[in-house]
Structure 1
Amino acid sequence: MSMVPPSLLCLGLCLSQSTWAQKGNLPPPHIIALPGSTVPAKSPVTLLCQGPKQAEGYRISRVGSPEPMDKEEEIAPRKTNALSIAEVTTDKTGLYHCSYQRGGRWSQFSDPLQLVMTGAYDKPSLSSMVGTVVAPGETVKLQCFSKINHDVFILTKEDGDPVTQNQSCTPQDGGRQTIFLLNPVSSTQAGTYRCYSAFLDNPYVWSQPSDPLQLQVEAPTAWHPSVETQVRLSLAALLLLVMVVLLAEAWCSQGGPSVKSDEPPPQWTDKHR
């Protein structure tokens, strides 16, 4: 039986893995926006499609648009992964995704990126119904109010992972408001919050941001038992004391242990007679 050289085995294995990879779907890229995906009106933004180094071309487009797309603002040139938008306007907002080309094939689309324009309407107001300094575990209610009859309110958080919540609203004082709940609040939720408002039929065009609200979460304090816990501990101690007293009385009623002495009994002498 002839032996196959290890170098040929390695070559065959590598070729088989390469062939298998070419038959599978190309993994999707990742799309980001610089300096961010929430952009003030008429400000510039750049969309980047992050794919492998072997990519031969890129395509950036709006979700739901026909492919391929020829408009300059909706498709990046073949050899670059960047799409620059000089001024963000309402017609540039929406969901964007991207793909890349390698070996004559296009990859799967990236997860969509939400490109939002802010500053289209007057700013709402943001306030905390329980104060801005809270203890861990409390329920925090943030109220966002707009004088405009908007349908949707959005809460964002800075200084960390951006947390965006979309929520419906209710009429209030000639305008609309909504309540955002942070329940239970923790130290990771401390930071600077703002809210926006928008219309449901144009969800990527937001108002100006509200004034910032700084939420502080106090550090955990030493454990202090509640009144109920203190009463229970006192009753338990009293019960233990009663049991000790009863055991002591029972022990004494039985006469206790006999007393033994190592001294010899007294000897009678003539003096005692």
Structure 2
Amino acid sequence: MAVVLHTLLCLGLYLSQSTQVQEGYLPPPVIKGLPGSMVLSKKPVTILCDGPPEAEAYEIYKMKGPELRDRTKSLVTGKSNTVNISEIKPDLSGLYRCSYRSGRNWSLVSEPLYLVMTGAYEKPSLSSLSGTAVASGNNVTLLCFSKDKFQAFILMKDGLPTIQRKSSAHKNNKHQAVFHLGRVTSTQAGTYRCCGAFDDYPYVCSHLSDPLQLVVNEVPDGPTPTEPRHPQAPHHNPTKGYQHALVGVSAASIISIISIISIIVLFLFVIRHCKARTDTAKRERQPQRAGPMNGRASGATDSQDVTYFQVDFNVPTQGTASAPSSLPGQTQTSEYAMVTLR
């Protein structure tokens, strides 16, 4: 059973690969200009179609336009994968593509090579409206301008075979073109140049502008201007957390101690206040001491019971001492004291 399954899988893989080959699904080659795609007037250049080792034949052709149907007659057909141009001229500039054959099937067509002849006119200027050092995700706009009446401007980046072409506009007594790079990433950092051209020879260009170095700074875990920033978990420091725990425990202990002391003080105050009221009540319930015995009942209007005590005072008069029984000359005085019972 395992042998049958293995055989079926291999057969399916073979049929799938065969179908892809018949339909032209071989991977496309890479086309290059050596030493570069921007070639100074009257200088040599080599066009290379770089395919896999199993490639048996190549085709390199010049395009009349950007569409695949605009291809012209092949410049090369056979095992050679290069086209050598000893001297670049206006009629040799333009778009080039290539493909290769393996077995009976041809590959997909390569991306276009923009072969530009430079040095035909005075150079324009290139500047960045967003600055030369930007953060990743920011919008970048480049401006190529010249006092000459160029009908188009071409922007290229070193190391890349593709370029951008824009029609010029007359503004502020100069012709210019605006190139929007959009939100850039680190892959778009590098050296940019531009040149001016005319419609009759769209890939015959002026001298290249001075280089503009674009620096794109990556922001770690940083958002683009339209994306929200994702919060990051703070770095955990065990020692710091332990210190925070100690501070929290100490603060809680201090608050607890202050609360207990406050309760004790309040309790003692309530006890003392109650004791003071009790003592006052006891003193008020004790009999009041009599006032001066002047013979008047000072509390006669009080509705409480009043008891009077008679006190007799014997005051001796002057004379000779005699026996107690013979003291007719003594004067007797009576005073009354009032006692209130509560």
Q: TM-score range by the shorter chain?
A: 0.5 to 0.7
CA deviations 1:153-186 (Å, max 9, x no partner) are 123344x768843222223576523344566778
Mapped to 1, the partners of 2:12 and 2:138 lie a distance apart of: 58
> Is it true that 1:14 corresponds to 2:10 in the alignment?
yes
Give the deviation of 1:5 after TM superposition. 6.3
2:167 is aligned to 168
Mapped to 1, the partners of 2:183 and 2:107 lie a distance apart of: 42
Q: Which has the higher contact order (CA 8 A, sep 6+)?
A: 1
Question: Which SS does the other structure have where 2:210 is aligned?
Answer: coil
> Is it true that 1:154 corresponds to 2:154 in the alignment?
yes
Question: Which SS does the other structure have where 2:80 is aligned?
Answer: coil
Counterpart contact for 1:29–1:49, Cα < 8 Å: no
Counterpart contact for 1:126–1:142, Cα < 8 Å: yes
Aligned counterpart for 2:267 among listed residues 253, 256, 261? 261
Q: Which moved more, 1:14-23 or 1:183-192?
A: 183-192
* Counterpart mapping for 1:2-81 below 5 A: 6=3, 9-24=5-20, 25-26=23-24, 27-33=26-32, 34-63=34-63, 64-67=70-73, 69=74, 74-76=75-77, 78-81=78-81
Mapped to 2, the partners of 1:135 and 1:59 lie a distance apart of: 42
Give the deviation of 1:191 after TM superposition. 5.0
Give the deviation of 1:95 after TM superposition. 1.5
Q: Which moved more, 1:89-98 or 1:15-24?
A: 15-24
Q: What amino acid is aligned across from residue 75 of structure 1 in structure 2? A: V
Give the deviation of 1:121 after TM superposition. 1.4
Q: Which moved more, 1:84-93 or 1:95-104?
A: 84-93
Give the deviation of 1:138 after TM superposition. 7.9
Larger Rg: 2
Give the deviation of 1:187 after TM superposition. 7.5
Q: Could you tell me the TM-score, scaled by structure 1's length?
A: 0.63
Question: Which SS does the other structure have where 2:10 is aligned?
Answer: helix
> Is it true that 1:91 corresponds to 2:91 in the alignment?
yes
TM-aligned CA distance change 1:59 to 1:148, over 3 Å:
same
Q: Which moved more, 1:10-19 or 1:96-105?
A: 10-19
1:198 is aligned to 197
Mapped to 1, the partners of 2:6 and 2:218 lie a distance apart of: 58
Q: What amino acid is aligned across from residue 200 of structure 1 in structure 2? A: D
Which structure 2 segments of 5+ residues have no match? 64-69, 220-264, 284-342
CA deviations 1:195-222 (Å, max 9, x no partner) are 21111232211111112344567898xx
Counterpart contact for 2:123–2:195, Cα < 8 Å: yes
Mapped to 2, the partners of 1:182 and 1:109 lie a distance apart of: 26
Mapped to 1, the partners of 2:156 and 2:138 lie a distance apart of: 20
Q: What amino acid is aligned across from residue 166 of structure 1 in structure 2? A: R
Counterpart contact for 2:31–2:47, Cα < 8 Å: yes
TM-aligned CA distance change 1:86 to 1:12, over 3 Å:
farther
Q: What amino acid is aligned across from residue 168 of structure 1 in structure 2? A: S
2:100 is aligned to 100
Q: What amino acid is aligned across from residue 211 of structure 2 in structure 1? A: P
TM-aligned CA distance change 1:95 to 1:188, over 3 Å:
closer
